[in-house]
Amino acid sequence: MLFKALTRRSRILIAVAAAAAVVLAVAVTVALTVTTYDHTSPRAARAKASGSVTGNADCRMEKCVALSFDGGPSPTTPRLLDILKQQGLHATFFVQGKGHISKYPDILRRIADEGHEIGNHTWNHKRLTDLDEDDARQELSRTQDAIERITGTRPVLMRPPEGRTNRKVAKICQDLGLAQVLWSVTAKDYETTDSALITKRVLDQTHRDGIILLHDLHKGTVPAVPGILKALKQRGYTIVTVSQLLAPAKPQPGMVYRP
């Protein structure tokens, strides 16, 4: 009986030890995969900042939402610029190098000339987290150089493809003077040409201090913009660029901004 009891106790201890090892392994895995880069929200960034806000919108007092477009410039961008000009609004354009900046420099120049904010969306739209440090840096620096060459201004904002970032990407962005901008509203306009559906998705997700992500190169997106703008204004939103949403805070290189 004593032998059986000792054997049973040994088995219990082994089982407990095994379970503890599993728990520890899971804890280590979680610790390695949680966010390890600096991040904040537009509202939190504003709360820590002081000073006055230039321009017509003070998002400390107003119900703001930032409007942003990824993946251009493209042949559909001029129509979007016409719409924004008619409405007296400005947006943030995260532009892409290959097949976009390189193909439509005049459209990029118009974006800048009409007072819109321009951000970096890499050269080839590759996941920066999947690249080695040198290649990831090249994706951003090549785009920075092209934008500056065409517009005369070097961006201070970037959007990582698919929103994928990590400490490596954050360090590269810090070196290049780029703050990272994620989003809170996505219409997934890359999977539909239904402008009514795109509009509904945007309006269903929009909240104060949010950042809307659309793609001006997709067929259904630009036709949806007038309805989106009208509905947002009816709901009391002030539509701004990303930097206006952060003001009086200034974008900090390497920081990830996500609503």
CA 176 – CA 87 distance, rounded (Å): 34
For this structure, is 218 an active site residue?
no
Catalytic residue among 70, 189, 209, 216: 70
- Residue pair 70/121 in contact by the 8 Å Cβ criterion: yes
Catalytic residue among 121, 215, 216, 218: 215
For this structure, is 216 an active site residue?
no
Q: Cα(first)–Cα(last) distance of the chain, in Å?
A: 64
| Residues carrying an active site annotation | 70, 215
